[in-house]
């Protein structure tokens, strides 16, 4: 691609993502839906202005790492301690049931290969904490009993979901299921979560000291992005996906992070942690839309046989499994029927994590176009519908 064409491609991607995000938010839909639709519109499915070339995919990879960095940055492990057993039960049931149901449908009902079925089950697991937080905040219910349970469960969902993603990544590049390699990946993940806060804590002291003596602007963003990319490279070096590096870096730098080895960033300096978050947000929000638009670009709707019963049966049954697996998760904890329904609906959105699973399945050649399209439909519907249902539920009964 010529340089001037590449500039025009980036211009179209960024402007279309922003335009459709504004439209989606005004319609009370998650912003990620707008970015997906932007990719579908400008990509091969409709207008054909932009192709998902390697140069665009490279920026999308950076966007994924930064996206999971932001997820890790917003992860509050201490919420798990506050919400206790309820959050653990909701997260465990809400992660295992969609995985089991999705895998079973794909493997036994649709007779897909085991690795494909595992990826389908994985795509249905994690809850999008960003969408859940936004909806609860809009309703001013983030501090309610059900809000605390949902947020605690979503934190655990994110952590377990990324670990599952690391395992499936190993299976995809290894060409099959290997328990020895899976054990190595789990060991590397555990090592990351133990050592990341120590390394980040030490580096934060250096960054803070340099920031106090340097008169050149931009020190914090450049050093934090360097740290994030180093963690991503290190994750790949030990056999884990690069995405894990971004997530662990975000968790380690979060002002809400807590582990025995590191209570919080810079010895509890909340102001400095806020400064890091404030300076990183614009960079993150520049790159992450490129990933979601690229997902839309990768989905060529013209190549899908829409008159095929498989696509509709596949997406509808998996959508039912995705919703049911989350809805039943609060039935195992005490609470009123209203709280249980609110928790179940709030756990349904898959959002960015589900798209990362689906995109990894597509890029590794595990998903066919029809399966990939069905998974995108499932992720989009589970992301789009719950915010409206939650607002109706609280407006009617809350």
Specify the pLDDT at position 317.
94
> 144 or 181, which is more confident?
144
Tens-digit pLDDT profile for residues 47-90: 888 887 878 878 887 887 777 677 666 666 666 566 677 888 88
Query: What CA–CA distances, in Å, run from 40 to 35, 176, 198?
Result: 9, 31, 42
Q: Which residues contact 267 (CB under 8 A, 6 or more apart)?
A: 201, 205
Comparing 26-40, 126-140, 361-375, 376-390, the range with the smallest average pLDDT is 126-140
Which pairs count as long-range contacts for 44-49, CB under 8 Å and 24+ apart, including other chains?
44/297, 44/300, 44/302, 45/296, 45/299, 45/300, 45/301, 45/302, 46/301, 49/12
Comparing 55-59, 80-84, 217-221, 266-270, the range with the smallest average pLDDT is 266-270
**Which stretches within the chain are classed as H helix?**
3-26, 31-42, 54-73, 78-104, 114-123, 129-138, 145-174, 179-213, 219-237, 242-253, 270-298, 309-327, 337-346, 351-363, 369-397
Which helix (DSSP H) or strand (DSSP E) does residue 368 occupy?
Answer: none
Specify the pLDDT at position 256.
46
- Residue 268, pLDDT > 60, answer no
- Percentage of the residues of the chain whose pLDDT score is greater than 90: 10
The pLDDT-based confidence of 321 (bands split at 50, 70, 90) is: very high
Tens-digit pLDDT profile for residues 128-165: 766 666 667 667 776 677 777 887 787 677 677 777 77
- Residue 258, pLDDT > 60, answer no
Tens-digit pLDDT profile for residues 286-302: 888 888 888 788 767 77
Q: How far apart are CA 223 and CA 226, in angstroms?
A: 5
CB-CB contact of 304 with 311 (8 Å):
yes
Query: What CA–CA distances, in Å, run from 382 to 18, 302, 355?
Result: 22, 23, 11
The pLDDT-based confidence of 254 (bands split at 50, 70, 90) is: low
Specify the pLDDT at position 306.
75
Q: Nearest-CA neighbor of 370 among 168, 120, 167, 169?
A: 120
The pLDDT-based confidence of 14 (bands split at 50, 70, 90) is: very high
Q: How far apart are CA 12 and CA 51, in angstroms?
A: 11
User: What tokens were used for 269?
Assistant: 């300096």
User: What tokens were used for 319?
Assistant: 């959508």
Query: Would you state the torsion angle of the CA atoms of residues 70, 165, 37, 155, taken in this order, to the nearest 10 degrees?
Result: -40
Give the predicted TM-score (pTM) of the model.
Answer: 0.70
Specify the pLDDT at position 265.
40
Specify the pLDDT at position 257.
43
Tens-digit pLDDT profile for residues 333-372: 887 888 888 888 888 887 767 777 787 788 778 888 888 8
Domain 3-397 coded CATH 2.60.40.1120: no
- Residue 393, pLDDT > 80, answer yes
| Mean pLDDT taken over the chain | 77
Domain boundaries, the chain: 3-397
Specify the pLDDT at position 267.
45
DSSP of 87-156: HHHHHHHHHHHHHHHHHHIIIIIS---HHHHHHHHHHTT---HHHHHHHHHHTT-TTSHHHHHHHHHHHH
Q: Nearest-CA neighbor of 318 among 163, 90, 119?
A: 119
Q: How far apart are CA 188 and CA 341, in angstroms?
A: 37
Q: In the chain, what is the greatest distance between 2 CA atoms, to the nearest angstrom? A: 65
- Residue 108, pLDDT > 90, answer yes
Q: What integer is the mean pLDDT of 291-316?
A: 80
Specify the pLDDT at position 261.
32
- Residue 104, pLDDT > 90, answer yes
Tens-digit pLDDT profile for residues 188-200: 667 766 776 677 6
């Amino acid at each position: 691609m010529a340089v001037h064409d590449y500039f025009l491609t980036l211009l179209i991607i960024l402007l279309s993502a922003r335009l459709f995000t504004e439209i989606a938010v005004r319609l009370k839909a998650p912003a990620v839906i707008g970015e997906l639709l932007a990719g579908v519109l400008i990509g091969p499915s409709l207008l054909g202005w932009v192709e998902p070339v390697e140069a665009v995919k490279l920026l999308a990879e950076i966007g994924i790492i930064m996206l999971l960095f932001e997820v890790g940055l917003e992860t509050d492990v201490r919420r798990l301690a506050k919400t206790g057993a309820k959050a653990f039960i909701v997260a465990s049931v809400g992660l295992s049931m969609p995985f089991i149901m999705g895998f079973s449908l794909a493997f036994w009902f649709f007779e897909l290969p085991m690795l494909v079925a595992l990826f389908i089950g994985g795509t249905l697991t994690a809850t999008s904490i960003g969408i859940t937080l936004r909806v609860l905040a809009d309703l001013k219910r983030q501090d309610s009993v059900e809000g605390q349970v949902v947020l605690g469960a979503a934190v655990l969902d994110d952590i377990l979901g990324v670990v599952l993603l690391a395992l499936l990544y190993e299976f995809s590049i290894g060409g099959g299921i290997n328990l020895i390699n899976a054990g190595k990946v789990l060991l590397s993940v555990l090592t990351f979560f133990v050592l990341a806060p120590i390394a980040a804590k030490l580096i934060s002291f250096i960054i803070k000291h340099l920031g106090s003596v340097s008169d050149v602007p931009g020190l914090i963003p450049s050093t934090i992005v360097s740290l994030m990319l180093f963690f991503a490279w290190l994750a790949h070096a030990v056999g884990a996906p690069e995405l894990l590096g971004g997530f662990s870096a975000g968790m380690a730098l979060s002002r809400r992070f807590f582990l025995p080895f590191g209570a919080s960033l810079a010895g509890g300096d909340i102001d400095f942690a806020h400064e890091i978050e404030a300076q990183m947000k614009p960079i993150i929000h520049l790159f992450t839309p490129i990933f979601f638009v690229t997902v839309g670009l990768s989905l060529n709707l013209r190549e899908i046989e829409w008159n095929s019963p498989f696509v509709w049966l596949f997406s509808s049954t998996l959508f039912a499994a995705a919703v049911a697996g989350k809805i039943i998760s609060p039935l195992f904890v005490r609470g009123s029927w209203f709280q249980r329904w609110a928790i179940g609906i709030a756990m349904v959105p898959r959002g960015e994590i589900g798209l990362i699973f689906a995109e990894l399945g597509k890029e590794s050649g595990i998903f066919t176009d029809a399966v990939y399209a069905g998974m995108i439909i499932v992720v989009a519907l589970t992301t789009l519908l719950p915010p409206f249902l939650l607002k109706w539920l609280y407006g009617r009964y809350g």
